[in-house]
Amino acid sequence: MSAIYKRELSSYFNSMIGYVFIAVLVFFTGIYFMAYNLYNGLPQFSYTLYSLMSILMFAIPLLTMKSMAEERRSRTDQLLLTAPVSLTGVVMGKFLAMATIFLIPVALCAFCPLIIAMNGEARLLSDYASLLAFFLMGCVFIAIGMFLSSLTESQIIAAVSTFAVLLVLFLWDDLVSFLPSALSSLLSAFSFTQVFYNFVQYSVFDLKGLVLYVSLAALFLFLTVQTLQKRRWA
């Protein structure tokens, strides 16, 4: 798995995708941080993270679109399917490489609450809890994009389908409100935005929401492994 991880991590920086992804998130973080925290004086950095959710919908598909689709298009996936490493190791190596790239701008964001604290009131505990939730939410998005990339050999289709799914998750609360009340109350428990909103607005450490994020990431990683397993035996 470590060999897959190192290969994937280097490939993202060799192809500029890693640099572009990090630059986009850092750029918009700076804009929202300046607008909310420096200009308007809000003490919560978590509001900046909440605004970055919409940026993730565009940035994550660019990161994940080639994770599996490129291997399938160039037929190098046959080497992975016959490599002396488990398919779970292959998937986890690729996932951890993308999560590492995502962790870089998240780590840079960790300095922003300290900047706020140096200039006045800050809510460090709430902000860092929100940063943890933001990272786990991004990992779920990466797992979803990776699964969808494993279903096609077209990077464009992988990116567009990932964006579509993330958009549905972003609008989840509005969409389920049109359903019958019993079904709506059931599906609202899977709201991505509400979990993160609990951290941002109410400063609540939503442990159940974090478990939801981890569980969904594990689910889509499992589905990716099953997709590769099916192709191996096909």
Say which residue, 79 or 36, is predicted with more confidence: 36
Q: How confident is the model at residue 80, as a pLDDT?
A: 62
Residue ranges of alpha helices (H) inside 2-110 are: 2-14, 17-32, 46-64, 69-73, 77-81, 87-109
**Residue 137: how many CB atoms within 10 A of its CB?**
25
Q: How confident is the model at residue 86, as a pLDDT?
A: 79
The mean pLDDT value of the chain amounts to 86
User: The whole model's pTM is what?
Assistant: 0.91
Nearest-angstrom CA–CA distance, 46 and 116? 12
**Residue 61: how many CB atoms within 10 A of its CB?**
25
Tens of pLDDT, residue by residue over 96-112, are 999 999 999 999 999 99
Name every residue whose Cβ is closer than 8 Å to that of residue 39 and which is 6 or more positions away in sequence: none
Q: How far apart are the first and last CA of the chain?
A: 23
